[in-house]
Amino acid sequence: MGRLLGIIVVVWLLIGVVAAAQRGYFGGDSDVSCKEFGDTALTIVAGPLNYIGINPKVDCSKVKAPKPSE
């Protein structure tokens, strides 16, 4: 049973990687922002749900990163 669950999870994530690649989330030479990373990660985790219309997005406006000390 555990092996079957593991296979399902791997296939689910692979479908998510394909969906993220089709949306062009991989590649590019620019620095990755919080939004870009979050959108990519959510697309991968959503897996096959991407193909039924779920388009996950991240709102990083509420994320407060600590400022470095001087």
10-residue mean pLDDT profile of the chain (70 residues): values are: 92 91 80 80 87 80 69
Nearest to 50 by CA among 16, 2, 8: 16
pLDDT (0 to 100) of residue 7: 95
Domain ranges of the chain: 2-62
pLDDT (0 to 100) of residue 65: 66
Compute the distance between CA of residue 46 and CA of residue 17 in angstroms, rounded to an integer: 10
Q: What is the pLDDT of residues 53-62, one digit of tens each?
A: 877 777 777 7
pTM over 0.85: no
